[in-house]
Amino acid sequence: MTDAYTRFIRSTPGGLLAKQLGLPRPSRLLRREDRPEPVLGPVVVLGASAGADRIAHLLLDQGADVRRRFDELRSVGSVVLVADELEAPADLGSLVLPLAGAMRTLAPGARVVTISRPASTEEASRAAARGGVEGFLRSLAHEMRGGATANGILVRDGVELDAPAVLGALRFFLSSRSAFVTGQFLTVSSTDGSASENATLPLAGRTALVTGAARGIGAAIARTLAADGAQLVVLDVPGAGTELSRLANELRAVPIQLDVTSAGAGERLVAFLRERGLSLDAVVLNAGITRDKLLANMTADRWDPVLAVNITSQIALTDALLEAGDVLGEQVRVVSLASTSGIAGNRGQTNYAASKAGVMAFVDALAARLAPLGGTANAVAPGFIETEMTAKIPALTREVARRANSLQQGGLPVDVAEAISFLASTEAGGIRGETLRVCGQNMVGR
436, with CB counted inside 10 A (0-12, 13-18, 19+), is: buried
CA dihedral 159, 164, 166, 167 (to 10 degrees): 140
CA angle, 147 then 151 then 154, to 5°: 175
Q: What is the structure's pLDDT at 7?
A: 77
The stretch 181-192 carries a mean pLDDT of: 97
Q: What is the structure's pLDDT at 143?
A: 96
Q: What is the structure's pLDDT at 153?
A: 98
- CA distance linking residue 283 with residue 334, whole number of Å: 5
pLDDT single digits (tens) 86-96: 999 999 999 99
Residues noted as catalytic? 352
- CA distance linking residue 407 with residue 30, whole number of Å: 12
Protein fold of 24-188: Rossmann fold (3.40.50)
End-to-end CA distance of the chain: 27
- CA distance linking residue 333 with residue 145, whole number of Å: 34
Q: What is the structure's pLDDT at 403?
A: 86
| Contact by Cβ (8 Å): 440, 407 | yes
Residue 446 has pLDDT above 60, yes or no: no
- CA distance linking residue 406 with residue 416, whole number of Å: 17
pLDDT single digits (tens) 380-416: 999 999 988 777 777 778 888 888 899 999 999 999 9
Handedness of CA 423, 427, 432, 435 (dihedral sign): negative
Q: Mean of the per-residue pLDDT values for the chain? A: 93
- CA distance linking residue 101 with residue 87, whole number of Å: 24
Q: What is the structure's pLDDT at 1?
A: 63
Class at the top of the CATH hierarchy for domain 207-438: alpha beta
Pairing of strands 254-257, 231-236: parallel
Q: Closest by alpha carbon to 436, among 384, 383, 380, 385?
A: 380
pLDDT single digits (tens) 5-38: 777 777 777 777 767 777 777 888 999 999 988 8
Question: Same fold for the domain at 24-188 and the one at 207-438?
Answer: yes
pLDDT single digits (tens) 102-147: 999 999 999 999 999 999 877 999 999 999 999 999 999 999 999 9
- CA distance linking residue 348 with residue 314, whole number of Å: 23
Angstrom CA distances, 343 to 24, 165, 353, 355, 383, stand at 25, 25, 8, 11, 10
CA angle, 229 then 234 then 237, to 5°: 165
Banded pLDDT at 279 (limits 50, 70, 90)? very high
- CA distance linking residue 405 with residue 307, whole number of Å: 28
Q: What is the structure's pLDDT at 128?
A: 96
Q: What percent of the chain has pLDDT over 90?
A: 82
Q: Closest by alpha carbon to 135, among 119, 111, 158?
A: 119
Q: What is the structure's pLDDT at 366?
A: 98
Q: What is the structure's pLDDT at 280?
A: 98
152, with CB counted inside 10 A (0-12, 13-18, 19+), is: buried
Domain boundaries, the chain: 24-188, 207-438
Enumerate the β-bridge partners of residue 236: 257
387 vs 184, residue with greater confidence: 184
Handedness of CA 214, 218, 223, 227 (dihedral sign): negative
Q: What is the structure's pLDDT at 444?
A: 65
pLDDT single digits (tens) 300-350: 999 999 999 999 999 999 999 999 989 999 899 999 999 999 999 989 999
pLDDT single digits (tens) 227-255: 999 999 999 999 999 999 999 999 999 99
Say which amino acid occupies 146: G
The stretch 200-224 carries a mean pLDDT of: 96
The stretch 348-369 carries a mean pLDDT of: 96
Residue 434 has pLDDT above 60, yes or no: yes
